[in-house]
Amino acid sequence: MPASLRFVFAIHNHQPVGNFDKVLEQAHEDSYRPFLDLVERYPEFKFGFHTSGPLFEWWERRHPDQLERLARLARRGQMEVIGGGFYEPILPLLPERDRRGQIRAFTEYLERRLGAKVEGMWLAERVWEQGVVKSIVDAGIRWTVVDDFHFLCSGLAADQLQGYHVTDEEGRVLRVFNIAEDLRYRIPFRAPKDTVDYLRSLATEAGDRVVVYADDGEKFGVWPRTKKHVYGDRWLERFFEAILAESSWLKLSSFSEAVREVRPVGRVYLPDCSYREMTEWALPVDTQLQYEDAVAEVAKVGAHHPAKRFLRGGTWRNFLSRYPESAVMHAKMRHVSERVDALPLRSRAYEEARQALYRGQCNCAYWHGVFGGLYLPHLRDAVYRNLLAAEVLTREYGAAGAGGPTGAAPPVAERRDFDLDGEEEVHVTNGRLGLYVKPGLGGHVYEFDVLDKGANLLNGLARRRESYHRKVKLAKVVADADGVESIHDMVLAKEEGLQHRLHVDPHWRMALMDHFLGAGATLEAYSRGSVRDAGDFLLGVYGADVRSKDGRVEVALARDGRIGGRAARVEKVLTLGSGTREVEVAYAITNLSGERLDARFGSEWNFALLAGRAHDRYLVGADGRNLGPLATQGVFADQGRFSLVDEWQGIRVNLHFEAAADLWVFPVETVSQSEAGFELVYQSTSVTPCWSLALAPGSSWRTRFVVAIEG
């Protein structure tokens, strides 16, 4: 009996919530549309197709004909529709109710819009934890697909991976296919014959093996230089023809057909895992460098050395410990989910808030690897914009009882562990502004929400070491590169000189951050993060007292510490009134020592307004003069008033100082990697008003300033 094999070919298309329209349009023209143009010409080429909800919604608005084409392909049995979480969430990160809700919502949408039955789902970033089995099966799904790496990490051997396995949790049974990593790196970067030869090597006389290729559809036209390779040079056309020419022994199959016609290979229990590259990116940077070196050493022995299967990185949740900005965004999402879940299920507010919540669970902005992800401000902004929209709906419903608008509310304060770090924070809101304060970390403000704008003004990102930084100086500028490679292998840069911008921040960049700067400190050194504080207040623990009086809420923070070796106390009070978009800040610094205390004090605020060099995002001085774009660096002396303007969002941040201050201003810009190469990304504008102090023993210095939001 001649050897034969079943081959499942599937693609996964995704665009994150909040991505730029021009990016989606380019991807549509370079990849999504030409792929369907070509595959329609080969009706015998059966394939699986997953497209995430955000991209489907965009197609409905901009290219509804794309959905009609997909419906036709599904009706003629050529395309299997693959479901998932509607807005491509990392499933284990969600509360159980949202896991099921996202999957069911997307299944209902696909079956209604494409007229196809959905039996299986795509697991976003293939992030697996055994607990998702119950969620997936309870949502009506029979099978999913992850990487062969997951199976190897569970202890299985490579020759046990040509098929699907079953797993169970709390009595629910799920079928799990594995994606062949060898194929992910072959397609479309090697000749079609290479894939055919690889598949032939796995064929058996029993013909019961199933081999799966499933990967990003963006590899076919969006990844650098692939459009010409895949379509211009006819790689994909030649691939379709090469596969179809082997139909005597190579059977194209859908996942669901394989489940119905082939017995499972066996039972498996997978460890917490994702695809191999993701487990590498999730590691702390020093460990990641060691991991890369270990992988390189094993590769010298051979690509298929048995030791390779024992080399695995971290779990996806490590991103929450690596990046506090991701951790607080995740905690915010869970808090908002609680509020949405408390709404009456049949209310309009619930439906609107749930959809906004689901959009805010889109995975891309919560992590970082070869794609920009967390490093891209517009993606983080989209998450907060949706989470804040859901939060506002829950607050309006609670105040009005019917989901109607209520306007500004009396200020309220709540103390609880909002960011899930084991310590209490303070949240203050008046329905127009919302602030989250961390007494246990410098008494900082880590979230500053303008609720009617859906903006978190502190949604920036600190500059950190990344393992890929050691490659930046070796990168070719994109225009000088040639050849077609996987994005995992390319070393490209979008501009020259990035190796000189690899600054590292000694702390998370928030607001109300108390600095005591030595006499020799300069803005240049301060902007690089290389100035050491003369005090121990910046990251110290503050006591917190919350009090309400006269329609205002005050958060009073205080700490006894040392400045230049001398005992001192810092007291600061945040005040939020009713119906206002102003926050008042009052400082008192007392010399507790028996000696004179001379110091330069600064209160650092990092305002994230999305674009550092756009013409409609700029700074304004006390005299009303435009001082340059948000990415301007400089010392602006003796300022009683200072503004940051974002015309695109319609937000103006005004700082009013009781005592004129010298403002140290600079852009926080990160060097990150994307599929197109290393790039410099504006994250926020750091503004530190500074005052010189000369305090006799026992004396105090006091000042006030106001942060007021217009627009």
CATH for 78:
3.20.110.20
Same domain, residue pair 99 and 241: yes
Least confident of 20-34, 92-106, 407-421, 440-454: 407-421
pLDDT in tens, 63-112: 999 999 999 999 999 999 999 999 999 999 999 999 999 999 999 999 99
Q: Is residue 446 part of a domain?
A: no
Mean pLDDT for 361-390 is: 94
Handedness of CA 25, 30, 31, 35 (dihedral sign): positive
Predicted TM-score of the model (pTM): 0.94
- Which of 465, 457, 468 lies closest to 380 in space, CA to CA? 457
Least confident of 222-226, 293-297, 483-487: 483-487
Average pLDDT, the chain: 93
Q: Is residue 47 part of a domain?
A: yes
Mean pLDDT for 165-171 is: 98
Q: Which of 372, 390, 406 is the last residue of a domain?
A: 406
Express as a percent the part of the chain with pLDDT over 70.
Answer: 95
Q: How many domains does the chain have?
A: 3
pLDDT in tens, 495-532: 788 888 999 999 999 999 999 998 889 999 999 999 99
Above 80 in pLDDT, residue 490? no
DSSP state of 307: G
Same domain, residue pair 127 and 276: yes
pLDDT in tens, 229-282: 999 999 999 999 999 999 999 999 999 999 999 999 999 999 999 998 999 999
Q: The CATH number of the domain where 657 resides is what?
A: 2.70.98.10
Same domain, residue pair 573 and 508: yes
Q: Is residue 664 part of a domain?
A: yes
Give the integer Cα–Cα distance in Å for 656 and 66.
52
- The strand ranges marked E within 353-498 are 412-416, 425-429, 433-438, 444-450, 455-456, 476-477, 492-493
Q: What is the pLDDT of residue 408?
A: 60
Same domain, residue pair 135 and 179: yes
**Other residues' Cβ atoms within 10 Å of the Cβ of residue 422:** 7
Confidence of residue 401 (pLDDT cuts 50, 70, 90): very low
Q: Which domain holds residue 63?
A: 5-281
Q: What is the pLDDT of residue 595?
A: 96
Give the residue numbers annotated as catalytic, written as ranges: 125, 216
Same domain, residue pair 200 and 331: no
Above 70 in pLDDT, residue 584? yes
Same domain, residue pair 154 and 275: yes
Confidence of residue 674 (pLDDT cuts 50, 70, 90): confident
Helix (H, G, I), strand (E, B), or coil: what is residue 322? helix
Q: Which of 235, 262, 281 is the last residue of a domain?
A: 281
Confidence of residue 488 (pLDDT cuts 50, 70, 90): very low
Q: Is residue 464 part of a domain?
A: no
Question: With left for phi above 0 and alpha for psi between -120 and 50, is residue 557 left, alpha or beta?
Answer: beta
Same domain, residue pair 242 and 343: no
Of 311 and 555, the structure prediction assigns the larger pLDDT to 555
Q: What is the pLDDT of residue 405?
A: 40
Least confident of 19-23, 398-402, 612-616, 641-645: 398-402
Above 80 in pLDDT, residue 402? no
Same domain, residue pair 258 and 329: no
Q: Is residue 114 part of a domain?
A: yes
Query: Measured between alpha carbons, how far is residue 12 from residues 125, 302, 474, 674 in Å?
Result: 10, 30, 32, 19
Same domain, residue pair 275 and 336: no
pLDDT in tens, 28-43: 999 999 999 999 999 9
Give the integer Cα–Cα distance in Å for 278 and 645.
38
Q: Which burial class, exposed, middle or buried, applies to 662 when counting CB atoms under 10 A from its CB (0-12, 13-18, 19+)? A: middle
Q: Which of 352, 385, 406 is the last residue of a domain?
A: 406
Query: Measured between alpha carbons, how far is residue 444 from residues 80, 422, 448, 537, 600 in Å?
Result: 51, 16, 11, 11, 19
- In contact, 89 and 127? CB cutoff 8 Å: no
- Which of 264, 266, 258 lies closest to 154 in space, CA to CA? 266
Q: Is residue 463 part of a domain?
A: no
Name the token pair of 611.
């674009």
Q: Is residue 583 part of a domain?
A: yes
pLDDT in tens, 537-548: 999 999 999 999
Same domain, residue pair 148 and 271: yes
Same domain, residue pair 274 and 321: no
CB within 8 A of 595, min separation 6: which ones?
A: 566, 697
Confidence of residue 485 (pLDDT cuts 50, 70, 90): low
Q: Is residue 453 part of a domain?
A: no
Same domain, residue pair 580 and 483: yes
